[in-house]
Chain A
Amino acid sequence: MKSISDLIYSAVDSYQIDKEQLGFYRIMYSLFILLTGAIPNLQLEQLSLYPDSFFTPPIGFAMFFDGFPSEVFCHILYITTIVLAVMMLFGVYTKWASLLFSLLVMLGYSFLFSLGKINHNTGFFFLPAFMAFSGWGNAYSFDTQRNSMKIKEKLSTSKGSFWIFMYAFTLGWLFWTASLPKIIGGWLNPSTHAVLGWFMNSYYGDDAQRFLAPMFTKTLNQWYSGVFWELADWFTIFFEFLFLWAVFKRTRMILFCAFACVFHWLVLNVLNIPSAGFLLCYVLFIDWTHFKIPSWVNKLLSNFDTLTKNATRTLVTVVITVGIIYLVQSIAPPLDLLFLPFVPRDETMYLEAIILESIGLLIALRYIYLRVLDRVRNLV
């Protein structure tokens, strides 16, 4: 049996990722934050509407405060978050920007969740804290120009891969912790149909009747209903429970990320819970050597080197980008503005989610199909 060290070292080895890919991923992540309305601390200013008697901090940063922070503090926190996200985008002091970004986001959300409800967004917003040490600032960045002599290696170092593995492990852990209460709660009992119960409550109780949800009501009272909904319970538990096992090998992790895309798409359609942000987390693990990157993307990426050629040019680029994002965000997130002509403001997040998650589903299904095909060919 492998010792723990062997297990970790072999897992870490499998997470060696090209520094160009990491740089490209950093740009994607930062753009997602800035364009989709996922920019954290945006909603903090609404806290000034509530008295301090509403303040029930979860155990963490916010418990050291006696009430909600002032509007000025919230606004400074929000602007700082934008600046740090833009610094991540252009790779300016990437390590510190990434670490501080995660820290300030967690601080901001600690205040927001002091209203009495915690949202489970750590998997998405903690990513930069891990990636800070992975070397994701070593391509298409100001840091590359600054340290051009130091960054020569093509692949991330084993130290860098270790932090990518650590993030993968944390993601696997998060899914695994979701499976435990389900098992204790009785989801595996063939007579419970837990997903059906949640579906009924969300469809009729919370009016979550978007996308394919009405179609699932057709399964009620059908002869196959019991088997169908019990399979949903079992699929959910097995997928979540085994995710932690999958993280110890990157190819297995990619397969589970593909299953996760199917899972999120089903959750969106059955319960109308969007989780497009997770898809971006999975992109990190994709082996991009199988993809041919279009030339226009490479051209676009080379612009990042041009924009950050020296300190002055970088400063101007960062300041202008922060200004634009701040102005646009004061109206609505850029992607929301794109969708507003088609759907009401409250529905834009669902439209974004169905588009992104459907793209994710198609890519995932293709990947699963190719993996199965490959396995069958090997057997033959």
Chain B
Amino acid sequence: MTKLFLGWLTFLVVALIFSYTIAEPYPTFIMPGFARVFDYSNNQFERIEPELLFVDGSVQSVMDYKELFPNLKAVHPNAIMRNLFTSNHIDRTLVDTTSRSIYQRLKYFRYTSQQWMSEHFPRVYGRAIQDRGHDSATIAWLRRQLQPKSDSAVLHINWMKTIGIPSEDGAMRVSESVRIDSMIIKLY
């Protein structure tokens, strides 16, 4: 019994270290940490979401990214958007390179480990690093979803960091909106 217990404990410790230094495996044996501490001064809040601008010939339309995934359940569409439509891996992993906190330094360490993993073990972690937003299969899928009429159709994906402050009546008032990343995908 003791040997079995110690074996399992060793596995859990290794899985934990692996999760925080390289990438979280599945089945996972950790729980989400919600470690991030937000700036709550003025009771503000922040949101990072993609804004979609679809340019089809002379017609421009702003889209809700959730419209791309009408039948998706069980996984939040924002997670897929981040996974596919961010310009580089550092934006995908939300690492703040300017912060000196231990938490962000650990995230940066994990980011560099992932770069190393993708180079040396492409089979294990190669796909996560690749640019899959411009992949021909992704573009074909986008064409099916958006049904463009013009052959010069382009999808702009802008990642916006919005800082908001709730007003007296409880509604949201945007105080700042900054573009932190963007991707332009030609559909033809």
Contact = CB atoms under 8 A, between A and B. Distances in A.
Task: Classify chain B's interface size.
Answer: 35 or more
Nearest to A233: B37
Interface residues of A, number: 69
B125 interface: yes
A264 B120 CA distance: 41
A323 interface: no
Contact of A200 (B12, B43, B84): B43
A170 B31 CA distance: 11
14 contacts: A9-B1, A46-B71, A54-B138, A59-B25, A109-B27, A115-B75, A115-B83, A169-B5, A185-B33, A185-B35, A187-B37, A197-B40, A200-B40, A220-B166
Contacts, number: 198
B178 interface: no
Interface in B89-103: 101-103
B1 A205 contact: no
A240 B105 CA distance: 24
Contacts of B36: 185, 194, 197
Given A8-B5, A204-B166, A205-B46, A113 B29 contact: no
B24 A58 contact: yes
Given A5-B2, A217-B170, A52 B137 contact: yes
Interface of A is mostly: helix
Contacts of A112: 74-75
Contact of A184 (B80, B84, B103): B103
A310 interface: no
Contact of B28 (A55, A63, A122, A201): A122
Given A113-B26, A122-B29, A162 B1 contact: yes
**Top-6 shortest CB links A-B:** A181-B33, A116-B83, A197-B38, A185-B35, A117-B79, A181-B35
A173 B43 CA distance: 34
A169 to B, nearest CB: 8
Nearest to B79: A117
Given A115-B83, A181-B103, A193 B124 contact: no
Interface string B96-137: 000001110010000000000000000111011000100111
A300 interface: no
B44 interface: yes
A166 B37 contact: no
Interface in B1-49: 1-2, 4-6, 8-9, 12, 16, 18, 20, 22-40, 43-47
Contacts of B28: 58, 118, 120, 122
B79 A166 contact: no
Interface in A174-217: 174-175, 177-178, 180-182, 184-187, 189, 192-194, 196-198, 200-201, 203-206, 214, 217
B138 A53 contact: yes
A51 interface: yes
A355 B180 CA distance: 41
A294 interface: no
A222 to B, nearest CB: 11
A57 interface: yes
A16 to B, nearest CB: 14
Contact of B29 (A170, A181, A220): A170
